[in-house]
Each structure stands twice: as C-alpha cells, then as structure tokens.
Amino acid sequence: MASFPLVPYQQPSYKGGFPTWVKPGDRKLLQTSSAASKANVVVAKDGSGNGSGRYVIYVKAGVYNEQVEIKAKNVMLVGDGIGKTIITGSKSVGGGTTTFRSATVAAVGDGFIAQDITFRNTAGAANHQAVAFRSGSDLSVFYKCSFEGYQDTLYVHSERQFYRECNIYGTVDFIFGNAAAVLQSCNIIARNPPQKTVTLTAQGRTDPNQNTGIIIHNSQVTAASDLSASSVKSYLGRPWQKYSRTVFMKTSIGGFINPAGWLPWDGNFALDTLYYAEYANTGSGASTSNRVTWKGYHVLTSASQATPFTVGNFIAGSSWLPNTGVPFTAGL
C-alpha cells in the first residue's frame, strides 16, 4: 500500500477553541508556528514523556486517489466533512486482489479515530468484494464518516469498534467481519445489486466464546434511490461463519427489507448456532411476524435482554469513549 500523501499542514478552524477530541496535553498538535507552516504534520508530545499524545492528521478537502494503511497507534484523521474530504480507491477481488488487501484505507494500529471523511471504493458491484475501509484497530472510533462501496464496503475485521453518525452504502455483505462493533445513530443505505439480492451484514464469529458481533443501534436502514424494491430482495444479514452474531435495536427499518428478515448462507449452515436478534425496531420493515424460524433467531421483548448489546456493555464504551470526545449513548 502507498504511504499517505500528507498535505501541507493547515490548522483547522473550530468554533469555541480546541475540538473536544483534543486533550489538554495534545493541544500543541494544533498550534501553529513558523516551523509548522512548513511541516506536513505537526506533532508534539503531551509533556508526560511517554509519547501518549494523539497524532492528528488534518486532511483538507479534496479527492485523494490512494491506498492507505495506518499501522501506528493513536492516529486521528480529521477531514473537512463527508463529501468534501474523500479518500478513494478501486481495488477488488474481481480486479485480482484479495478482499483483505482491497481496502482503500485500513487501520491496524490501536486507538484510530476518523472524523468528517468519506472512504470510498469505486470498483463497482460487478467486481465483487471491494472494501472501502478495514479496521483491525482496537478502540477505534468513526464519527461523521461515510463508507461508500458495493460488496463488502466496511470490513469490521477485529477488536472493539464504535461508529457514530456514519453513512454506510453497499449491496452484498456490506458490513462484515468479526469485530465487536457497535454502529449508533448511523445510516445504512442499500444500493441496487446486479444479482438482485441485498444483505446488509455478514458477521464472522467462528467460536461461541468470542465476544464479537455487529450491533446496529438507534440507526436507519433505507434503500438508495437506484434500488428497485419490486425486483430486489433485501435482508438484514446472512451467517458468514458458524456463530455469526448480529443485533438490530431501536432502529428504523425500511419496507424494502424482506419480511423473512434474514437469509441463509448455504442450506442449513449455522442456522442453529448463529445469534440474530431484533429489539424494539420501528418502520415498515420492522415487523417480526413473518421472520425466519431458525433456532438461532430471537425476538427480544425486554430491555434486560437487549442491554448486553449496548455500547456500555458490549464494547465497555463508558471506559474509553469519553476520552475521544465523540458523543455516544451507553445504554438503550
């Protein structure tokens, strides 16, 4: 993967002083000086001598056609907004690479944060798996970002991840992986698939003892304008692995979702061992009266059943998200 094309540093404008994600010890990161005006990135230790300050990279508005892998810890990419700062690529399985290596941007180092950026893969639906973003970063946070692709758009590969007020576009398995990932107050938008079947999620838990899963909380599931509900069958997910776990809670589900709700992967594979659940969802596609009758599917009817899948419990968010300054709801 190419190194990131660092733009000349320019201090971003934030009303009311420093943004909330800048801790006092990190403030030197954003202070300008004669040296900073010539620097690609301005970095300063937090004064503790252990180098624990966050490394902030400001990516100005523009379209960056790159493939980026971020290996360092505690890196933050902050852009000028969705649709303004765009990092785009077009690697795909159809184009000869692997799903893992197709990611336009990948975060590996722990503590990664992205804010106000669009991550895009333009390979197109016909090229099959083509990842816009892959995260294997523990305690990674994505705030007001957009992930745009078709099949396998967002690869929540591993570790604890939190998404807030993000947009995720795709066709097949477009939120997938084996992280402990919570998407809160997000927009999940299904695009028109050439094979006429949409699956929003494909969670990859391989062992019942893994504390992983994809949790969709207080979000919206909608169809893009190009999706024809009459000719496309759309589902909340299908089991990529034997113990696939996905929960939709207090989410608005559009009427384009098939009444069965969930789609088998291959015959009876994983139908008894998966854990799929729905709790207090709304919208014309939220009725559970005609859902699948698999042993692993559950309609949760009480807050006590749903609470284990909240930000506070599922990813212990109350212990680490406050330090990021990103808003979150710890409970239901």
What CA–CA distance (Å, rounded) separates 285 from 306? 20
H or E stretch covering 168: strand 167-170
What CA–CA distance (Å, rounded) separates 148 from 132? 6
- By the 8 A CB rule, do 164 and 20 touch? no
What CA–CA distance (Å, rounded) separates 230 from 227? 9
What CA–CA distance (Å, rounded) separates 258 from 294? 16
| DSSP per residue, 94-110 | TTTS-TGGG-SEEE-ST
What CA–CA distance (Å, rounded) separates 267 from 248? 23
Q: How many CA atoms lie within 13 A of 14 on its CB side?
A: 16
Residue 178, classed as helix, strand or coil, is coil
Per the annotation, the verdict on 173 as an active-site residue is yes
What CA–CA distance (Å, rounded) separates 70 from 89? 15
What CA–CA distance (Å, rounded) separates 291 from 262? 7
What's the one-letter identity of residue 28? K
Non-local CB neighbours of 49 within 8 Å, separated by 6+ positions: none
Non-local CB neighbours of 137 within 8 Å, separated by 6+ positions: 70, 107, 108, 109, 110, 111, 112, 159, 161
What is the phi-psi region of residue 101: left when phi exceeds 0, alpha when psi lies from -120 to 50, beta otherwise?
A: alpha
Alpha helical stretches, state H, the chain: 303-306, 311-314
Marked catalytic residue, from 110, 138, 173, 207: 173
Residues annotated catalytic, as ranges: 173
